[in-house]
Amino acid sequence: MDFTSPTGERVRRSAETGNKAEAQELHDKLKAEVWRVDKLGERPRRTWNDAVVRWLTEQAHKASIEADKIHLRWLDRHLRGLELTAITRDRIDRIGAAKLAEGVAPATVNRVMEVLRAVLRRCVDEWEWLDKCPKVRMLKEPTRRIRYLSHEEAGRLLAELPGHLADMAAFSLATGLRRSNVTGLRWDQVDLAQCRAWIHPDQAKARRAIPVPLNDDAMSVVRRQIGKHRELVFSFRGKPIRQVSTKAWYSALERADIKSFRWHDLRHTWASWHVQGGTPLFALQELGGWESAEMVRKYAHLSADHLAPYAQRLAPLIGHGTNASQAQKDEGATFR
């Protein structure tokens, strides 16, 4: 197909068919659409695929872009080739139901729906490809308790892990760094003399640099890695470590009698220990590289030291009430 739009722009592309009649029909349709867009101010017809391509281009910097790609690949089987105006509330509900029917948790369904909603909102708010975004219903997710280890449990786990995993787990418990930041930590990000390390903005989930002070435990782990790899702090037999949730990890958990525990829960353990030790939430937020204070508040209930003075105000009242009640019982016993 080859024609010129009213603005003088040349439109040249394949009709993607070997049938001349179909190619001519598509040619005429596209030419009419281009004319209506230019002369009547109508919006060009955009498809879901158009939106996905632009989304991936503009969001390439996201730390979670790989997870987005996984969800978008799954959505492709339901939305491929559809015009954006055909993506209705009813269709979105059916997509959510299809994902849930795979036997996944409501949280997994919501992660897919969040990506779908984000793309559609961008179509409305920034690209002006749609007049409004259809409602995307989220499923209710059960509140999940923070899973963290006691010091005794942590000791059992480290004792059961093979050396390279034990070192990385101990380092995670000492610094709170995410898995990718531990496996990807380079020697040029560590200052042994100053006992500190740092995570560059492009390596951090929140895209902000993270200062990492190294305590005695962390320094001990790092010193054991000297000479094992030229560039990376942590390695296995001279090679980079790509995966930590391996068979060895799960076997160690079983031997240590620790259930329902993920590698990421090492970070929860680190944060929980900090709060229980009295570290203020604002300091914990900076140490952990969280984007907002709200993300840190889930650990706040683990420390009530700052509330103790207020709770103590009721102690005299409770004591008085208890004594008065006992006195009444004694007096009644005497009268009888």
Burial level of 57, CB count in 10 A (0-12/13-18/19+)?
exposed
- The burial of 106, by beta-carbon neighbours within 10 Å (0-12 exposed, 13-18 middle, 19 or more buried), is given as middle
310 is catalytic: no
Catalytic residue chosen out of the listed positions 121, 205, 207, 298: 205
Please state, in angstroms and as integers, the Cα–Cα distance from residue 214 to each residue in 193, 217, 299, following that order: 11, 8, 22
Q: How far apart are CA 198 and CA 200, in angstroms?
A: 6
Known catalytic residue at 148: no
Tokens of 152: 């005794």
In contact, 232 and 208? CB cutoff 8 Å? no
Active site residue 20: no
264: annotated active-site residue: yes
Is 94 a known active-site residue?
Answer: no
Q: Please tell me the distance from the alpha carbon of residue 238 to that of residue 31, in angstroms, as a whole number.
A: 60
The answer to whether 71 is a known catalytic residue is: no
Residue 220 tokens, joined: 């001990």
Residue 46 token pair: 């955009």
Note the helical H segments in the chain: 20-40, 48-58, 65-79, 89-100, 106-125, 151-160, 163-175, 179-183, 216-225, 247-255, 265-276, 281-288, 308-312, 315-335
Measure the CA–CA gap between 269 and 234, rounded to whole angstroms.
Answer: 21
Of 99, 179, 229, 267, which one is the catalytic site residue? Answer: 267
> Annotated catalytic sites, by residue?
178, 205, 264, 267, 290, 299
